[in-house]
Amino acid sequence: MLPAAALARLAARSLDAAGAPAPASVGLILADDGELAALNAEHMSKRGPTDVLSFPLFEAAAFPPHVDQSGDVASAGGRFRLPPGQRVHLGDVVVSVERAVEQAKQGRGGQTSDRASSAGEELALLVVHGVLHVCGWDHAEPAEELAMRALERRILAGR
């Protein structure tokens, strides 16, 4: 799997790439399917576990604009106004490690849920994905999804 320090670096890179204020924090909770199923039912009205849930504390408009691959602005962006050095907590990400391992084993990993990956690679993707959601990114529309997936790839590649 991945050490906690590697997950923290991924979360920090994701915050930077998403234009989050600095310094900022996100809570990263590594859980199991049971906890994700309970959260999924309570907050999303869906049955069963999911791989990652994000709980942002700010609207997407608080973050810089998200631009899709065609160059169109996908959402209006605002800015945080904080005193210098004030750390803001942006929200929480809850990842099912159990689901990440299972998806990797079954070859249902990656952004398209159709490729083999290691459990560590899948966990890394879920952390990045969840942090981007906290920062206002979404994938409900095709253009948003293309932009979010491209950003995920850049973050995971260390760029």
The mean of the pLDDT values for the chain is 87
Q: What is the pLDDT of residue 114?
A: 62
- Confidence class for position 109, pLDDT limits 50, 70, 90: low
Q: What is the pLDDT of residue 69?
A: 45
Q: Which of 110, 17, 113, 99 has the alpha carbon at shortest distance from 64?
A: 17
**Residue 94: in which H helix or E strand, if any?**
strand 88-96
pLDDT in tens, 40-97: 999 999 999 999 999 999 988 888 877 654 444 444 445 667 677 788 999 999 999 9
> Please, which residues have CB within 8 angstroms of residue 54's CB and are 6 or more apart in sequence?
91, 92, 93, 94, 130, 131, 133, 134
Query: What are the strands of the beta sheet with 52-56, ordered from one edge?
Result: 24-31, 88-96, 52-56
How far are the Cα atoms of 8, 15, 82, 105, 149 from residue 117, in angstroms, in the given order?
20, 24, 40, 8, 16
Q: What is the pLDDT of residue 67?
A: 60
Q: For residue 137, is pLDDT > 50?
A: yes
- Residue of higher predicted confidence among 69 and 31: 31
In 10 A of CB 140, how many CB atoms?
7
Distance CA 151, CA 156 (A): 9
CB of 28 within 8 A of CB of 134?
A: no
Q: What is the pLDDT of residue 74?
A: 44
Domain that holds residue 81: 4-156
- Confidence class for position 112, pLDDT limits 50, 70, 90: low
Number of domains forming the structure of the chain:
1
Q: Read off the CATH number of the domain in which 51 is found.
A: 3.40.390.30
